[in-house]
Amino acid sequence: MELQHSTVLVTGATGNMGPYVTDSLINSKATVIGTYVTEAARDDVETRAEHADAVAYQQIDLTDQTAVEAFAETVADEHGSIDHIVGLAGGFSMGGIDDTDGDAFQNALNRHATTAFLTVKAFVDHLTAQSGVVLFSSDRAIDPVPGTLAYNVGKGAVRTLTESLDVELDARVNAIAPFLIDVPGNREAMPDADFSAWTAPEVIVDEVLHLLTNQGVTGQIVQMTGGQPEGAA
């Protein structure tokens, strides 16, 4: 299946992975709608995404159901039906049980699972058997590590959401569960880490495109724990 002439909604399009995903989709000749929350991130993405000018960016808090429903109406008016969804919205947070209060726990569930749930719910009538939905879980939802409890649980909820949507929808619903991705933000946060153990963003994007287009893959949680693009040293 080709992405040419398809319309793809990318949530969290101004985060670390956003430009990699949106550039790749634009290069595949898809129409791309990208969401963001903060104006600063929207401004900054212009310097990081080669094809930022081709993305229809929309500001939306995806934890607000009323706002998400209004957003879906706007998208339908301006672009018609969307074909695919890539759910990047999320974000890392630290804290083990002693450092995580109820609000932090709830915020993580909202940031990861509620954003994905409300997005798919608002656009569910657009999705067909040809549609692909790719959500972002984490390696920590499969193999939890101490010190990121709310994050682990939020990403675990995305994992179960993916599997639950997959048995309810005609669309193919999959998730990627990466270990650390080799994006500049992570290098700045962990300058002494072994970057060679991380996954290159290009490899993540390859998998996103594969999951969007391969009609034979559905209900999978694709754990990605390393890898460089073909031809990289």
Ligand X SMILES: NC(=O)c1ccc[n+]([C@@H]2O[C@H](COP(=O)([O-])OP(=O)(O)OC[C@H]3O[C@@H](n4cnc5c(N)ncnc54)[C@H](OP(=O)(O)O)[C@@H]3O)[C@@H](O)[C@H]2O)c1
Q: Which residues bind ligand X (CB under 6 A)?
A: 11-12, 14-18, 35-38, 41, 61-63, 88-92, 111, 115, 136, 138, 178, 180-181, 183, 186
For residue 139, give the nearest of 224, 45, 217 by alpha carbon.
224
Give the integer Cα–Cα distance in Å for 151 and 140: 8
- Cβ distance to ligand X smaller for residue 7 or 115: 115
- Cβ distance to ligand X smaller for residue 14 or 100: 14
| Shortest Cβ 16–ligand X spacing (Å) | 3
| Rg value, the chain, Cα | 17
| Shortest Cβ 129–ligand X spacing (Å) | 26
**Beta 221-224 vs 84-87: how paired, if at all?**
unpaired
What phi and psi, each to the nearest 5 degrees, are found at residue 177? -125, 85
| Shortest Cβ 146–ligand X spacing (Å) | 17
- Cβ distance to ligand X smaller for residue 131 or 151: 151
The interaxial angle of helices 102-109 and 149-168, nearest 10 deg, is 30
- Cβ distance to ligand X smaller for residue 61 or 207: 61
| Shortest Cβ 171–ligand X spacing (Å) | 20
Place of tokens 């550039």: 23
- Cβ distance to ligand X smaller for residue 186 or 216: 186
| Shortest Cβ 183–ligand X spacing (Å) | 5
- Cβ distance to ligand X smaller for residue 63 or 174: 63
- Residues in Cβ contact with 205 at an 8 Å cutoff, skipping those fewer than 6 apart: 17, 20, 21, 24
- Residues in Cβ contact with 40 at an 8 Å cutoff, skipping those fewer than 6 apart: none
Ramachandran class of 9: left when φ > 0, alpha when ψ lies in -120 to 50, beta otherwise: beta
| Shortest Cβ 163–ligand X spacing (Å) | 17
